[in-house]
Structure 1
Amino acid sequence: MSDRMTCIPFPQLLNWVLDEFRTKETVFGVHTPYTTGSETPLEIFGRKLETPIGPAAGPHTQLAQNIIASYFAGGRFFEVKTVQKLDGDDLPVSKPCIKADDEGYNVEWSTELYVPQAQDEYIKAWVILHLIAKEFQLGAQDGFQFNMSVGYDLAGIKTEKINTFIDSMMEAKDTDSFKNAIAYAKNNLEKFSRVTEKDIDAIPSAICNSATISTLHGCPPQEIESIANYLILEKHLNTFVKCNPTLLGYEFARNTLDSMGYDYLVFGEFHFNDDLQYKDAIPMFKRLMALADSQGLSFGVKITNTFPVEIKQNELPGNEMYMSGKALFPLSISLAAKLSQDLDGKLRISYSGGADFFNLAKIVKAGVWPVTMATTLLKPGGYQRLKQLAELLRDQGYQPFQGIDVEAITKIAKASVSDPHYTKSIKIPPVRKTKTQVPLVDCFFAPCEQGCPIHQDVATYMKLASEKDYTGALKVILDKNPLPFITGTVCAHNCMTMCTRNFYESPVHIRNVKLECAQKAYQQVLEALTPVGKINKKAAIVGGGPAGIAAAFYLARAGVNVTIFEKRKTLGGIVTWTVPDFRIDYHVVEKDVAFIEKLGVKIQTDTEIRSIDDLKKQGFDAVIIAVGAYKPGLLKIEGCEPLNALTFMEEFNQTQGKISLGKNVVVIGGGNTAMDTARAAKRTHGVENVYLVYRRTKRYMPADEEELLMAVEDGVQFKELLAPSKWEQGALICRKMTLGELDASGRRSVIETTETVTIPADSVIAAIGEQVPTEFYTMNGIAVDQKGKPLVNSDTLETNLSDVYVVGDGLYGPATIVEGIRDSMKAAEAIIGYKASSNCAQKNTKALVFQKKGVITESKPDHPESDRCLSCSTVCERCVDVCPNRANISVVVPGMEMAQIVHIDSMCNECGNCGTFCPYDSAPYKDKFTLFANDADMKNSTNEGFIVLDPAGTRFKLRLDGTERDMVAGDPSVPSAIMAIMSAVCQDYPYLIFK
């Protein structure tokens, strides 16, 4: 594979657009077009503009197809990618070059094409946009604008190459690209149903009357002004100058980013010292405003250039990358506000730098437009997001530019630093990829389902819930999850961690929907619940916690005679006795217990089992041990013996917090149990201060973000980078730690210092994890490993004792409730001899899925949460969404249930964006079945794929399993799925094949 893109010739490009729309009603994979209505368009640079948004100069404006996709989705202002004297093979761009999973980063700069190629791409796009505006009735043929971006110094701009580019973009009538495009369109009028020869003749050849000056970091003010003077006076162009947030000064940038959680970003003060200084910028902008006005032109600034930060965690290749997206927004909008204040709102601002759904309407309403975007379009939803953004502005209403509302833009800037859409998560964003490799065929799944340890049919019960079929939804939930009330209340919800909507705005609250279904359909489903078979076996379950209840459910539903033995007076284990009662009430547990009671499970409480042999003698054919991890973890602190967290929380529940802990309590630990412990301590009678001590920072604590934030909200005081040393005279003395480099776990290592910190501590509680009951296992003859954990068959969880199984926390140590359910399912299946659950999956309609693609929808009290589900089990296509170049194509293959992803090698520049967002541990641009244009391209790649050798699609060159060979259609030695994909490409997607 080469990172060099092949430009699509105009005839193929136009035919692709027309044929795809005619046969699929899409354009470059964008499903829903934005069409303008009767609203009065805006005006800028003396030309109309139907909506003041579009793609920024970058990955979405490098190729013609990118610009076309943007227009189809709703973009109308196109800042085409920067050209400079350094281009093509002379331009070093490390690959991959984009990372946009949270805030954005890139290591690219100007176009990777040669300048004449870039010019050709922009002219082709210009012509096609005029044609499809009429043909597809998307808007007026004069309702959009192109803005050229040039850099990086005056000498370079005056070179013949760049000068020709500028002149050609200003007037293209004499260029071969424009003449050939017009001629082809006129010679193929039969391809159009609405476009006439008169329409084609009316396509203007004057493409750009505006330019944006892109300057490198360190470009002196006199150089910037000389370029602007040249473009205004010599080229008579409306001119914008790109401005960098370094204008704000190092201290402002550092303090702002630190306060928003971006303290890990490393950037040098030298950039701020070398770049344009604010004191020089203001008078220069005033001079240029006056100069442009004298020429009847507009002058403004483009905010902003991306922000340079050091590469510290191998995010991208190299030493420095450019930050964008949500982390850039507070800096960009602050610069816009500052310039507006000091220039009385008269300076025109073209805005980029973190513009998105949550701030766009406010920015435009304040008089700052056009607004161009990149990072938000690089996320799942991709180009399609432009439609919602265009509709948002249309509904708000347009106002002609009459200056910037200084008060409004200042208010936006001040609010940005605390807006949760732009502040950094308190925790490191989790890895949202599975550990499996993407298959060549049939690759998609719902990440929420894959991330769930029991692989619940989340998308299906979301679909049923959105249809208000709560009974059907609860039946689907119960098929795999016997504890819908417990998991609907306190589950760690890895499903939500994996949810695709994390890349949109926030995950679907899957846990809440589960509980809603359980509450609304409980009685009806409970009454109808009955065993589905009859298995002549008796099973004993030792321990009535979540894992034990789940095992009982699976076995009893299959018809096994089940008895649970629980040493306490009620079931529920740690959920009942240890999880604080302000988080879950016992009545919640009772409802899950009712399911197993309805299935006939016998429950013996206040019964402690010590001997497995005794159970066998009572006639039990199988025994499942679900006793939990109840041995306290050991923490030695000189001067005191810490109270065990679980012991404390049990007493807290039993006494309603009436425990004598003193005024100051220290909790040691950083996991979910530590958060529960600290929150319970805050509610304990007489406690005034609760301090949570951990040797790393919040960002590296193992606790879930939700749990951590609840502790913060409750007033727990976090004492980070401390390790307990000793206790004396009512105080805990801790050693200070510092963060080192990343360790094998992906967290920063810790380095001990000689400094100490003293924390008031009347009581110290250790929440450092519990241990499995090794003595119980060895006493009953169960083999254990060196750590005292039971040795089991990994598939069945059977121990060395025949028909004796271990599940839950007592197996590998403290785990999540749903992991305990997973273990119980494994053991139950081993006992009953078949799958304990069925396939409940239901597909949604693809039309409904595509209606939601790209659309930001936050949780609202009056809006069904289940409606936010994107139904990824029906359609994934993340790699299609996020590819700027449209190099990943969704191909519908006759006879195959799901659409297949075909990678188009010649359109890919290896930006890596699809690899970032693919839910597999893979990169589609390297790992998906690939269509090559020719032999040379195939030899330059290791991808599995094919070349079409004849126009009829009867002969192919195929590389499969590392072996290349020529073959004919219908070859029985080729897997049928592979053959079907190649045939579908030839028959239904011929425009993909480069001639």
Structure 2
Amino acid sequence: MSDIMTCMPFGQLMEWVLQEKSGKDTVFGVHRPYTINADHNLTIFERNLETPVGPAAGPHTQLAQNIIASYYAGARFFELKTVQKMDGAELSACVNKPCILADDEGYNCEWSTELTVPDAMSEYIKAWFILHVMAKEFNLGAQDGFQFNISVGYDLEGIKGDKVNTFIDGMMEAKDTAVFQECKKWLLDNADRFHNFTREDIEAIPSNVCNSATISTLHGCPPQEIESIANYLLTEKHLNTFVKCNPTLLGYDFARKTMDEMGYDYMVFGDFHFRDDLQYEDAVPMLTRLMKLSEELGLEFGVKITNTFPVDVTRNELPSEEMYMSGKSLFPLSISLAAKLSEEFAGKLRISYSGGADYYNIDRIVGCGIWPVTMATTLLKAGGYQRFSQVAAKTDGIAPKKWDGIDVDALKKLAADAITDAHHVKNIKPIPNRKSTKEVPLLDCFYAPCAEGCPIHQDIPQYVALTGEGKYKEALEVILEKNALPFITGTLCAHNCMNKCTRNFYEESVNIRGTKLIAAQKGYEELIGQIKAGEPNGKKVAVVGGGPAGIAAAYFLAREGVAVTVFEKEKKAGGVIRYVIPGFRIGDDAIDKDISFIEKMGVKICTNTEITSVAELKAQGYDAVILAIGAGKPGTLKLKKGETVNALKFLRDFKANDGSLDIGKNVVVIGGGNTAMDTARAAKRTKGVEHVYLVYRRTKRYMPAAEDELLEVLEEGVEFKELLSPVSLENGRLICQKMELGQMDASGRAGVTETADVEEVPADTVIVAVGEKLDTDFYTANQIAVDERGRAKVNDKTLETSVSGVYVAGDGAKGAATIVEGIRDAQLAVKDILGKEITRDAAVTGKEADCYAKKGILKHSEEVKTEEERCLTCNKVCENCVDVCPNRANISVKVPGMAMNQVIHVDYMCNECGNCKSFCPYASAPYKDKFTLFANEKDMADSTNDGFVVLDKKAKTCKVRFVGQITDCKADDPADKLYDGLKKLICAVIDDYGYMI
């Protein structure tokens, strides 16, 4: 794989745009064009501008197709990627790859354009022509409704040198350039192919492409050098000019304090750049002089915020020592600098903005008088360029048609609000890994990561869609196919599915758990009467334990016609859910409804019955026994002095006595898991308790509890005592050793070490929530082999123990498990007992058009009536890698005879930025792992990707690499031995996507 991009000729670009639009109604994979409201056109640099937004100088303005895709989606101001004297292969060799990481806040280690400067100019001029064509031919707007802004750097000598100077002159007046003539000739030669775009329109395309420039300088550039470049561009080139300004102008203390307050305390940066960069006291007089000069010259001048904010690479995030931070964490710094400069200049300094701008703040930014606004990080996330359509619509009509200053007070408020804005503060806990452990297949790769992340692979998009349509009974049927406990899991599930949801890269997960509960509640009455056992098959199975795993096992057994008896030692079935989980989390009615499903199927539930001998049970004629006995031995934490209370005992007593316990005024809970959160919330509700403290040896960020559980605890006033390790309980005080965090490892978990300091926490009662233990004695007493940790030795695929016909499930299998993991265990055991599959996948539903209509559109749960409006139906259309590729190097291909669209990678359009790797739900990088189209045999030889090069389109002869072996292939020859699906894909590319070849 080569990271050197190859520029397409103008004719190929035009064929691509025209054929793709005609055949698929898309342009470079963008599905929805943005239609301009001509009444709200703006003016800047004495030119029209239809929307005040566009792509920032960076990955989205490097190639012509990037600019084309942006325009189609709604962008109109294009800050072209920076050019400088170092370019092409020389620069590319200096940029470590991958160079982009944008799964949450953004980071990059890229520089200026990786093309040669002449090639960059060629790309920009080709895009200039095509945008004029698209505006008229596709009725997207006026042909003069967009603007290009060149970005040049990094020093005056380089800018004045022949290479960059020729670029500037060519962009200011392109009529004599070879590429301008090439583009014009192609259009005139093909004028009869257009419906709306005429020869007169071709002749009218202006040759003065740019009349504005943005100055980009390296960190440490002296103020006099920056001013000299600005003077040169203003006086010698007569260009309207922006000077990029860096948040380092705010000072180290402000930046460090802000990042720490917002949860980015792990972000490492020193004060070097703050000392070495342009200083505020130098910037103000420089900007004052440049404003005066531009006014005298009749030009517009302003600052571009921001340039870059460098941070250290500490966890191998990118293959460099330093990287540039962007996105949601950069916004509070950038907008604070904008507010500071605006106040300094009484709103008279024009600001072009970039730095964490997105859909959720764009209206306030533009409403303050700051525009144009360019973006990068938000476009690198799922939805990609399509996000522009929503952003452009939100800015429609907000700004005055001609800039008239900045509303300083509104901007200061925006800057103050940014520090606490939920869209910009860091999550309390690190983002869970969104990727599966599976490698991406060459074909048929679309799947729903929510379903893959669920231990029982529930058909989530299907039941979310049915619930949204009001088909609650049908939705509940889909759920019950694999999930025996819809009420319990709809309330308490640990929802790993939601951690995997692609929607997290938009704003927040689809509320899958809540949707399940809605389906259960609204579908129950209609469905319960239809629940019945399967046709009797003569088998008889005992289930020991009536908790979640036991109920689930009974459900699947009975549904398949097995005679089932559940033995439960308590008065009622339900296990820890009934007797330990507090009533404010789940009520008995929900538990009873889940149990009613097995009751309807005739399962016999023997309560107040404790089983001690498996052999005696088997002697009663049971074909198999499933042990779902939980992890009943209390976990302990020994203090040097003082006694502690086990969390499960406390929770059981709390529930049995309705919170009427005598545990004092001050309660300390030790632990950081979900049980600790339940314990703290219950303690807060206990009679007489005034303060509840939660003690943990790390910080909230590293607690194992789910983030929603942490937030609930915080909202209820529990006081967190972080970085404390309990030592002893003396005289109503818990004495703790203070800890400190060390460096984070590659997984993002920080080490922790003791300090010499201690802290005392008021404590009448100390409750320990450090995990429960397995009842190893039960296993050994029943001749079940155990491992060194006291767990029953089992077949991992069946959960059968060393005693034939005896299985374990749930907490009792390998220790603490989630409810849905207990259901999974039940399925595995039942499947082995019956020797067949016991669940079936629901058919993939949904329409492609509906999937594409949701792409790029940000909506929180409170903005929709049902979660079906937000579910992206990834098992129907995924295409994350297509969306997020700035260069459009991943292409969705419709193949005749194949139900699912296929994704191929186009080698010559890729620079190995690595962004698709972050968003592919597989443990893969599509730019390396998807079937690849090569431009020629040399490129193929330089790569290890499986893929193909077309040698003769008409004859459909190709050279193909498959599983590492290169062979010649005639794609439409049925006798050829190449994998049939790949031949179909290659034929589809040749027949229907020939513009790519």
TM-score range, shorter chain: over 0.9
Report the secondary structure of 1:736's partner residue: strand
Q: CA deviation at 1:399?
A: 4.5
Alignment partner for residue 639 of structure 1, among 631, 638, 641?
A: 641
Q: Give the partner amino acid of 1:982.
A: I
Report the secondary structure of 1:178's partner residue: helix
Q: Give the partner amino acid of 1:700.
A: Y
Report the secondary structure of 2:712's partner residue: helix
Q: Give the partner amino acid of 1:366.
A: C
Structure-1 residue corresponding to 2:67: 67
Preserved contact between residue 14 and residue 128 of structure 1 (Cα < 8 Å) = yes
Q: Give the partner amino acid of 2:897.
A: G
Map of 1:82-97 to 2, 5 A cutoff?
A: 82-91=82-91, 92-97=94-99
* More off after superposition, 37-46 vs 544-553: 37-46
Preserved contact between residue 535 and residue 832 of structure 1 (Cα < 8 Å) = no
Structure-1 residue corresponding to 2:706: 704
Structure-2 residue corresponding to 1:781: 783
Residues 900 and 743 of structure 1, relative CA distance in 2, 3 Å threshold: same
Q: CA deviation at 1:201?
A: 0.3
Report the secondary structure of 2:40's partner residue: coil
Q: Is 1:429 the counterpart of 2:428 in the alignment?
A: no
Q: What are the Cα deviations for residues 161-192 of structure 1, in whole angstroms up to 9, with x where unaligned?
A: 11100000000000000011001110111321
Q: Give the partner amino acid of 1:976.
A: D
Q: CA deviation at 1:694?
A: 1.3
Q: CA deviation at 1:759?
A: 1.6
Q: Distance in 1 between matches of 2:864 and 2:889?
A: 40
Report the secondary structure of 2:653's partner residue: helix
TM-score (ref. length: structure 1): 0.99
Q: Is 1:990 the counterpart of 2:991 in the alignment?
A: no
Q: What are the Cα deviations for residues 960-990 of structure 1, in whole angstroms up to 9, with x where unaligned?
A: 1111121222243111011111111100100
Q: Is 1:628 the counterpart of 2:635 in the alignment?
A: no
* More off after superposition, 607-616 vs 478-487: 607-616
Q: CA deviation at 1:94?
A: 0.7
Q: Distance in 2 between matches of 1:772 and 1:976?
A: 51
Structure-2 residue corresponding to 1:304: 306
Structure-2 residue corresponding to 1:447: 449
Q: Distance in 1 between matches of 2:615 and 2:969?
A: 65
Structure-1 residue corresponding to 2:485: 483
Q: Distance in 1 between matches of 2:951 and 2:90?
A: 33
Q: Give the partner amino acid of 1:577.
A: Y
Map of 1:324-723 to 2, 5 A cutoff?
A: 324-394=326-396, 396=398, 399-723=401-725
Q: How many residues align?
A: 993
Report the secondary structure of 1:768's partner residue: coil
* More off after superposition, 167-176 vs 187-196: 187-196
Report the secondary structure of 1:540's partner residue: strand
Q: Distance in 2 between matches of 1:948 and 1:800?
A: 57
Structure-1 residue corresponding to 2:250: 248
Report the secondary structure of 1:430's partner residue: coil
Structure-1 residue corresponding to 2:4: 4
Q: CA deviation at 1:390?
A: 1.0
* More off after superposition, 138-147 vs 192-201: 192-201
Map of 1:926-937 to 2, 5 A cutoff?
A: 926-937=928-939
Q: Distance in 1 between matches of 2:616 and 2:90?
A: 80
Report the secondary structure of 1:316's partner residue: coil
Q: Give the partner amino acid of 2:178.
A: D
Q: CA deviation at 1:833?
A: 2.2
* More off after superposition, 96-105 vs 937-946: 937-946
Q: CA deviation at 1:38?
A: 3.8
* More off after superposition, 33-42 vs 929-938: 33-42
* More off after superposition, 160-169 vs 616-625: 616-625
Preserved contact between residue 513 and residue 866 of structure 1 (Cα < 8 Å) = no
Preserved contact between residue 462 and residue 867 of structure 1 (Cα < 8 Å) = no
Q: CA deviation at 1:568?
A: 0.4
Q: What are the Cα deviations for residues 708-743 of structure 1, in whole angstroms up to 9, with x where unaligned?
A: 111111111111122112222222221222222345
Q: Is 1:979 the counterpart of 2:983 in the alignment?
A: yes
Preserved contact between residue 543 and residue 627 of structure 2 (Cα < 8 Å) = yes
Q: Give the partner amino acid of 2:647.
A: A
Report the secondary structure of 1:860's partner residue: helix
Preserved contact between residue 37 and residue 396 of structure 2 (Cα < 8 Å) = no
Q: Distance in 1 between matches of 2:769 and 2:565?
A: 33
Q: CA deviation at 1:280?
A: 1.4
Q: Distance in 1 between matches of 2:909 and 2:54?
A: 22
Structure-2 residue corresponding to 1:140: 142
Q: Distance in 1 between matches of 2:443 and 2:400?
A: 47
Report the secondary structure of 2:241's partner residue: strand
Q: Is 1:839 the counterpart of 2:841 in the alignment?
A: yes
Residues 138 and 861 of structure 1, relative CA distance in 2, 3 Å threshold: closer
Q: CA deviation at 1:799?
A: 1.1
Structure-2 residue corresponding to 1:185: 187
Preserved contact between residue 953 and residue 987 of structure 1 (Cα < 8 Å) = no
Map of 1:146-161 to 2, 5 A cutoff?
A: 146-161=148-163
Q: What are the Cα deviations for residues 656-686 of structure 1, in whole angstroms up to 9, with x where unaligned?
A: 1111211221111111111111111111112
Q: Give the partner amino acid of 1:540.
A: A
Report the secondary structure of 1:402's partner residue: coil
Q: Distance in 1 between matches of 2:853 and 2:534?
A: 39
Q: CA deviation at 1:369?
A: 0.5
Q: Distance in 1 between matches of 2:431 and 2:410?
A: 32
Q: CA deviation at 1:936?
A: 1.3
Q: Distance in 2 between matches of 1:115 and 1:907?
A: 17
Preserved contact between residue 953 and residue 983 of structure 1 (Cα < 8 Å) = no
Structure-2 residue corresponding to 1:20: 20
Q: CA deviation at 1:497?
A: 0.5
Q: Distance in 1 between matches of 2:845 and 2:117?
A: 47
Unaligned 5+ segments in structure 1 are: none
* More off after superposition, 636-645 vs 862-871: 862-871
Structure-2 residue corresponding to 1:80: 80
Residues 855 and 516 of structure 1, relative CA distance in 2, 3 Å threshold: same
Q: CA deviation at 1:861?
A: 6.7
Q: Give the partner amino acid of 1:491.
A: C
Q: Distance in 2 between matches of 1:273 and 1:945?
A: 50
Preserved contact between residue 887 and residue 907 of structure 1 (Cα < 8 Å) = yes
Preserved contact between residue 249 and residue 279 of structure 2 (Cα < 8 Å) = yes
Preserved contact between residue 369 and residue 399 of structure 2 (Cα < 8 Å) = no
Q: What are the Cα deviations for residues 70-127 of structure 1, in whole angstroms up to 9, with x where unaligned?
A: 0001000000000011111221111000000000000011101110010000000000
Report the secondary structure of 2:529's partner residue: helix
TM-score (ref. length: structure 2): 0.98
Preserved contact between residue 43 and residue 401 of structure 2 (Cα < 8 Å) = no
Q: Distance in 2 between matches of 1:745 and 1:132?
A: 46
Q: CA deviation at 1:787?
A: 0.9
Q: What are the Cα deviations for residues 259-306 of structure 1, in whole angstroms up to 9, with x where unaligned?
A: 000111111111111111111111211111111111111000101012
Structure-1 residue corresponding to 2:766: 764
Q: Distance in 1 between matches of 2:788 and 2:408?
A: 68
Unaligned 5+ segments in structure 2 are: none
Q: CA deviation at 1:396?
A: 4.9
* More off after superposition, 908-917 vs 695-704: 695-704
Q: CA deviation at 1:474?
A: 0.7
Q: Distance in 2 between matches of 1:530 and 1:580?
A: 31
Q: Distance in 2 between matches of 1:573 and 1:584?
A: 13
Q: Distance in 1 between matches of 2:295 and 2:916?
A: 45
Q: Give the partner amino acid of 1:670.
A: G
Q: Distance in 2 between matches of 1:811 and 1:383?
A: 47
Q: Distance in 1 between matches of 2:863 and 2:961?
A: 53
Report the secondary structure of 1:133's partner residue: helix
Structure-2 residue corresponding to 1:34: 34
Structure-2 residue corresponding to 1:905: 907
